[in-house]
Amino acid sequence: MADKMIDADILIIGSGIGALSVAGKLCKEGRQITVVTKGLEKACNSSLAQGGISVALSKEDDYRLHFKDTMAAGCYQNDEEAVMTLVSKAPDIIKEFIDTGMKFDTDENGELQFGREAAHSLNRVIHAGGDKTGLLVVEQLLRNINENVTIMKNEMALDLCVKDGKCNGVITRDPTGALKHYKANHTILATGGIGQLYPSTSNDTTITGDGMAMAYRGGCKLKNLEFIQFHPTMLTIDGNAYGLVSEAVRGDGGILINENGDKIMEGVHPMKDLAPRDVVAREVYAHYLKGEKIYLDISAIHDFKERFPTVTEICESHGVDLTKNLIPVGPGAHFHMGGVEATPCGVTNIDGLYAVGEVACTGVHGANRLASNSLLEGIVFGKLLAEHILEIERKAPDFEYIMPEHTVDILPEKSEIQNKMMEFVGIVRHRSHMGEILNWFEQFIPKGCDTFAALDLTKTTNEQIEVYNMLTAGYLIAKAAMDRSESIGAHYIVD
């Protein structure tokens, strides 16, 4: 049992674009929303997103072309209906968002500017503040919420309250250390993905697979966990990654070269530097494994600093002299295509529990996400989830959370998990080695359990739960990778 019981109508775990899109619509209908977030409100992947939002709004474009590109990038492993819902609703929903005051970059005539990113057949990506799209979208969404939304910062969600397939909320620990049971009519997972399971990542430090691990403990169906997208161009110095160098840099003419100045994507794929992201990431990684340094040559890009203020800031603060026109890069974990199985309206197999954004697997991204489709997913499917909730009446079922008895004796360092994940379920995978990582994970399963079951929260710190969530998510990803024997998209097997 928790220290405090709090009644909530709608409880959202996480504070990124998916979460705020749901909250923005529901609060205007007078619904009371509580958002709990592990860090500060802007500590999420959405705020770090540099690339923009892909939407078929230009004169040359059509949502059917957007559909085609999304399916091709996803290796046709996508859920066609979900993709069609996303791309066909996107133009109107993005126009509505602009009407709330959101300012995307425009040309001298005040028309939206459309940029190019990998695997798009034409320029389709809108940006804000150059490469500050995610942050500016989050800030606009925060302006769009009203006093019906309460944001609880530095409060970690620890376990979902699920009984007989029905959810009645979540257990959190607030900054004073009190365990709270929010009893909610609707509980929404919007916790983001799993980037911190890997040593190099573009993800925020809070993104440790918590949503997926909690969903697993609560009995949620999970899907496509083996599909993890690596971004080819993180700023990388001496093997350490320091942030993203947006694909829009290649869209604007940046070219990947090796130390001799050879263009590494030449002859690898007809779209060269703008080939699908998995193809480019693998090529960069292959050079990296040979001990070569790879650079993004930006000499063809005019006004680089104005066009890419965030990339400029990241580079300059790490001593990269941009006048030399070379940015050292390497790949890093970027986006999880898999997650909690959900419909475009966020419905999961657990009554009263929904998933939106990266934690959800609606099937739109298939085996490899098309660039700039993720902020779009958060906005479009966030709105659909809010509309769904407005249509149904649900009261939280009446039950208490029974504190589990299991505890953990030993836990590894986060860096150990990250290195194992990269070695065994990274950019290139060997099925013959995967048994090894599964055995490694299994030593951390609590005594008396046959899997990563829920823990006694009174005897476990938030830091321990975070590591336990990483173990849970890593174990499930490795199992899913073991179960899929063929190479598809981001799941690339060499044996």
> To which H or E segment does residue 180 belong?
strand 179-189
* Non-local CB neighbours of 324 within 8 Å, separated by 6+ positions: none
Whether the CA torsion 476, 478, 482, 484 is positive or negative: it is positive
Per rule CB under 6 A, count of chain residues that contact ligand SIN: 8
**Separation between Cα atoms, residue 373 and residue 375, nearest integer Å:** 6
Q: Residue 282 catalytic?
A: no
In 154-227, beta strands by DSSP E: 156-163, 166-173, 179-189, 222-223
**Contact region for ligand SIN (CB under 6 A) — 8-16, 166-174, 246-254, 311-319?**
246-254
- Residues 62-91 within binding reach of ligand SIN (CB under 6 A): none
The correct pick among 69, 155, 247, 297 for binding ligand SIN (CB under 6 A) is 247
Looking at the Cβ atoms of 210 and 247, the one nearer to ligand SIN is 247
Size of the chain in residues:
495
Binding mask 355-374 for ligand SIN (x = CB under 6 A): ----------------xx-x
Looking at the Cβ atoms of 246 and 418, the one nearer to ligand SIN is 246
Looking at the Cβ atoms of 224 and 372, the one nearer to ligand SIN is 372
The correct pick among 21, 50, 172, 196 for binding ligand SIN (CB under 6 A) is 50
Q: What is the smallest separation between the CB atom of 201 and ligand SIN, expressed in angstroms? A: 12
* 188 is a site residue for ligand SIN (CB under 6 A): no
Looking at the Cβ atoms of 376 and 488, the one nearer to ligand SIN is 376
The β-bridge partners of 340 are 222, 360
Calculate ∠ Cα 255-259-265, nearest 5°. Answer: 35
Residue 87 one-letter amino acid: V
DSSP state for residue 147 in the 8-state scheme: T
DSSP state for residue 403 in the 8-state scheme: P
The correct pick among 51, 254, 276, 330 for binding ligand SIN (CB under 6 A) is 51
Looking at the Cβ atoms of 368 and 372, the one nearer to ligand SIN is 372
Structure tokens at 233: 């161009």
Residue 419, CB half-sphere, CA atoms under 13 Å: how many?
7
Q: Among residues 124, 277, 282, 307, which one is catalytic?
A: 277
The correct pick among 171, 248, 364, 488 for binding ligand SIN (CB under 6 A) is 248
Give the SS3 label for residue 289.
helix
DSSP state for residue 153 in the 8-state scheme: T
Looking at the Cβ atoms of 35 and 371, the one nearer to ligand SIN is 371
Looking at the Cβ atoms of 337 and 473, the one nearer to ligand SIN is 337
**CB of 99 within 8 A of CB of 91?**
no
Binding mask 206-245 for ligand SIN (x = CB under 6 A): ----------------------------------------
Calculate ∠ Cα 389-392-393, nearest 5°. Answer: 110
Q: What is the smallest separation between the CB atom of 345 and ligand SIN, expressed in angstroms? A: 23
End-to-end CA gap in the chain: 49
* CA distances, 293 to each of 257, 278, 286, 361 (Å): 9, 19, 11, 35
* 246 is a site residue for ligand SIN (CB under 6 A): yes
Residue 455, CB half-sphere, CA atoms under 13 Å: how many?
24
* 200 is a site residue for ligand SIN (CB under 6 A): no
The β-bridge partners of 243 are none
Residues serving a catalytic function are 277
Binding residues for ligand SIN, rule: CB under 6 A, are 50-51, 246-248, 371-372, 374
